[in-house]
Amino acid sequence: MAVIPAPARRAALESLVRRKARAQRIITALRENYPEADCALTYHNAWQLLVATILSAQCTDERVNKVTPGLFRRFRSIKAFAGAGLEEIQEEIRSTGFFRNKARSIQGAARAIIADHNGRVPKGMADLTALPGVGRKTAHVVRGTFFGLPAITVDTHVGRLSRRLGLSRHTDPVKVEGDLEEVLPEADRTYTSHALIWHGRRICGARRPACEACSMIPFCPSAGLF
C-alpha cells in the first residue's frame, strides 16, 4: 500500500482532543506489538549510556554495542576518560565514524562532569545539554532511559513517524518534540519514543513502509483510511 504524501495536511483539521485520542490508540497498538521496547544501546550506568548515545550519532546501535565493551574496559571511569590521551579514545571508537569529534565530545563531557557535577552525570536538561557534544536528543535518552523521567527522543525514526501519523507537521526536532508533548501523556513518553524507533526500523521504513503489515492503518493518515 503506497503512502499518500503530506499526511499532516490531512490531520491539520483534527482537533487537539481528537489527536490526543488517536495518539492513545497509537500507544495501545505500540504496546501490543512492542511490549519490550527499550533503548537498544548496551550500558551499565548513566555515564556509559551517555557515551554510547554520543557514539550513536550517524552510526548504528549494533556497531556502537560492538565498540563500547572494549572502550569501557580500557577506560573504566569518567576520570579515566578525562585524563586519557585524545588519540587513545579515537583509536577505540574509530569505527563509529566522526571519531575525532566524538572523542572530543566524550572527553569534554567527562571533564565537565568532574568539574561541575562532582563526577556524576546530571539529570537536568539544562545541565546535560551544557555538556560538550550533548544535544536534546542525547539528553532525552539519558533522562528517560536511565533516570526514568518523561522524555521524548526525536531521532530520524520518531520524526518521520510523527509526520506520517499526523502527530506533527514539522521537520525541526524541537518542534516535533513540542507537538508530541501536547498529545502524549508523561507516563508514556519515554516508552513511545523507543517503540516508535522499533516500529520505524521494522515496519515503517523511510523508503518503503510496510503498510500491509502495520497495525496502525485504521488511524494513520498516511494510509489514506483516516
Tell me the C-alpha distance between 123 and 101, whole Å. Answer: 23
Catalytic residue among 20, 61, 155, 175: 155
The answer to whether 155 is a known catalytic residue is: yes
The answer to whether 102 is a known catalytic residue is: no
Tell me the C-alpha distance between 118 and 16, whole Å. Answer: 43
Catalytic residue among 102, 137, 179, 188: 137
**Which amino acid, 21?**
A
Q: How many Cα atoms are found within 13 Å in the side-chain-facing hemisphere of 199?
A: 28
Buried b (16+ CB within 10 A) or exposed e, 18-41: ebeebbeebbebbeebbeebebbb
Instruction: Give me the count of residues in the chain.
Output: 226
Which CA distances in Å does 81 have to 41, 89, 144, 222?
19, 8, 24, 46
What are the catalytic residues? 137, 155
